[in-house]
Amino acid sequence: MESKLGIGLLGLGTVGSGVAEIILNPENRHPLVSDIELIGVAVRDKKRQRKISIPDQIITTDPLQIVDDPRIQIIVEVMGGLEPARSLIIRAIKNGKSIVTANKSVIARYGDEIASLANDNGVYVLIEAAVGGGIPIIEPIKQSLGGNQIKRVTGIINGTTNYILSRMEKEGAAFDKILKTAQELGYAEANPAADIEGLDAADKIAILSGLSFGGNINRADIPTQGINNLQSRDIDYAKRLGYQIKLLAISERIDSKESNKDSLPLAVRVQPTLISQEHPLAGVNGVNNAILIEGDPIGEVMFYGPGAGAGPTASAVVADILNIAGVKKLGGNGTQLDPLLAANSWRDCHLVGSDEIIQSNYIRLICEDSPGVIGKIGKVFGERNVSIESIVQFEANPLGAEIVVITHKVTQGQIKDSLNGIKQLDEIKEVAAHMGCL
């Protein structure tokens, strides 16, 4: 009888439990699920009550026992965090084991190093669950869209912030209030910084950029603005102007002035962004995620679905396990790897400076309610070649008058220069908000 493919789980929390549930219940699933066997599970605390019943003898608090076990061919890393996850992945690869991981933090920072080590050792590192939870997005970019030149990737890839923004828009409530209820309902972590400051989305767009454009970028260089300073008045004004505000992660190829012809210039950022009500991403609400890919020749294609949770994320993890199981069944046990499944960088990419990013902008100014101020603001923009799509004065309130400007597409350098000029005007009290606009 053919032996089963041995799986070692590092972590038995939300995702790990969901994965174990599928492996232990193969009925009515693809026959390959029956070809895999859970050999060992590492946890931090053996006494913790678990959602799933696992034989005690296969649970350990020593992850090295799993990573070094010769009966295991695939390590599923779902423990999270940078260390010891990264070191365990590296050790497992050196031991000749393939990796399936949901860990975007490790992959966004060390993905290149890990992928080339895996190639050298003839093993796979699959990461479908690291972006978009249950949404198939990694393998479609690597395999199904491989014939395209990708132009732009635009994603709502953090469910917590999308949930908060959706409720702020629906209820007109303040950020702090919605964050608190999101924490009570388990949609936001007790420490929500990684989500609300945009850091989680930056990890994910770093991964999507690398796959879409073929070359790694430096995660630390991604300009990142979260929703933690977003005010409900901006959501209200955006709505009155026909827009919604979403936390978008965007990566696009651009024509750069730079002389570096050997490396593809990319404009990448995470920021709250106004999108028109007709935009494909405008209907993505609550904890759902969506990724819109524009490519040549495909045009636009959008991937939509649950961005987190035990079931959806486990679905993605198990899909990766089955991909490896399928290749191994074909006899792929040597060091020859399927080049699409084992995707690796094939060119150099780099991020252009944030001043070079071109986009439309939403700007809210607080100023004295005096005649002629709109003309003066328009003049400052005009002198920097910034053309204005609309400029609207909303009702005066105790803060002063509020003026919202939407610009046409210009460089962020022009906007920065204009805002410096605007701040010099006597009537201007504050540049209260600046966001992107699609």
Ligand X SMILES: NC(=O)c1ccc[n+]([C@@H]2O[C@H](COP(=O)([O-])OP(=O)(O)OC[C@H]3O[C@@H](n4cnc5c(N)ncnc54)[C@H](OP(=O)(O)O)[C@@H]3O)[C@@H](O)[C@H]2O)c1
Instruction: Please give the Cα distance from 197 to 229 (Å, whole number).
Output: 9
175 touches 227 (CB < 8 A): yes
Using CB under 6 A, pick the residue from 308, 319, 322, 433 that binds ligand X: 308
132 touches 306 (CB < 8 A): no
Report the sign of the C-alpha dihedral through residues 85, 90, 92, 93, in that order: positive
Number of residues that bind ligand X (CB under 6 A): 24
Could you tell me the smallest distance in angstroms from the CB atom of residue 287 to ligand X? 9
Please list, residue by residue across 2-30, b when 16 or more beta carbons sit within 10 angstroms of its beta carbon and e when fewer do: eeebbbbbbbbbbbbbbbbebbeeeeeee
Residue with smaller CB distance to ligand X, 52 or 425: 52
Could you tell me the smallest distance in angstroms from the CB atom of residue 108 to ligand X? 11
Using CB under 6 A, pick the residue from 6, 7, 8, 16 that binds ligand X: 16
Give the tokens for residue 353.
Answer: 């400076």
Residue with smaller CB distance to ligand X, 41 or 337: 41
- Residue 84 sits in the site that holds ligand X (CB under 6 A): yes
- Residue 286 sits in the site that holds ligand X (CB under 6 A): no
Judged by CB under 6 A, the chain residues 89 through 128 that form the site for ligand X are: 102-104
- Residue 9 sits in the site that holds ligand X (CB under 6 A): no
In this structure, how many other beta carbons lie within 10 angstroms of the beta carbon of residue 391? 17
Residue with smaller CB distance to ligand X, 18 or 295: 18
Burial class from Cβ neighbours inside 10 Å (0-12, 13-18, 19+) for residue 302 reads middle
- Residue 12 sits in the site that holds ligand X (CB under 6 A): yes
Could you tell me the smallest distance in angstroms from the CB atom of residue 340 to ligand X? 23
Burial class from Cβ neighbours inside 10 Å (0-12, 13-18, 19+) for residue 340 reads exposed
For residue 137, give the 3-state DSSP assignment: coil
3-state secondary structure 305-341: EECCCHHHHHHHHHHHHHHHHHHHHCCCCCCCCCCCC
DSSP state for residue 154 in the 8-state scheme: E
Q: How many helices (H) and strands (E) does the chain have?
A: 13, 17
Please list, residue by residue across 175-188, b when 16 or more beta carbons sit within 10 angstroms of its beta carbon and e when fewer do: beebbeebeeeebb
Using CB under 6 A, pick the residue from 136, 140, 223, 309 that binds ligand X: 309
Q: Which residue is nearest to ligand X (CB)?
A: 13
Closest CA to 319 of 145, 104, 102, 158: 102
Could you tell me the smallest distance in angstroms from the CB atom of residue 279 to ligand X? 25
Catalytic residue among 97, 104, 142, 204: 204
126 touches 341 (CB < 8 A): yes
Judged by CB under 6 A, the chain residues 129 through 158 that form the site for ligand X are: 129, 133
67 sits in the region (left: phi over 0; alpha: psi -120 to 50; else beta) called alpha
Q: What is the pattern of x (binds ligand X, CB under 6 A) and - over residues 209-248? A: ----------------------------------------
Judged by CB under 6 A, the chain residues 22 through 81 that form the site for ligand X are: 42-45, 48, 63, 78-80
- Residue 208 sits in the site that holds ligand X (CB under 6 A): no
Could you tell me the smallest distance in angstroms from the CB atom of residue 46 to ligand X? 7
Residue with smaller CB distance to ligand X, 101 or 323: 101
Residue with smaller CB distance to ligand X, 133 or 215: 133
Could you tell me the smallest distance in angstroms from the CB atom of residue 132 to ligand X? 8
- Residue 15 sits in the site that holds ligand X (CB under 6 A): yes
Residue with smaller CB distance to ligand X, 11 or 210: 11
Instruction: Please give the Cα distance from 67 to 272 (Å, whole number).
Output: 41
Q: Specify whether 204 is catalytic.
A: yes
DSSP state for residue 371 in the 8-state scheme: T
Residue with smaller CB distance to ligand X, 14 or 345: 14
Could you tell me the smallest distance in angstroms from the CB atom of residue 207 to ligand X? 12
- Residue 357 sits in the site that holds ligand X (CB under 6 A): no
Judged by CB under 6 A, the chain residues 310 through 349 that form the site for ligand X are: 313
Residue with smaller CB distance to ligand X, 95 or 393: 95
Question: Which positions lie near ligand X, rule CB under 6 A?
Answer: 11-16, 42-45, 48, 63, 78-80, 84, 102-104, 129, 133, 308-309, 313
| Catalytic annotation, residues | 204
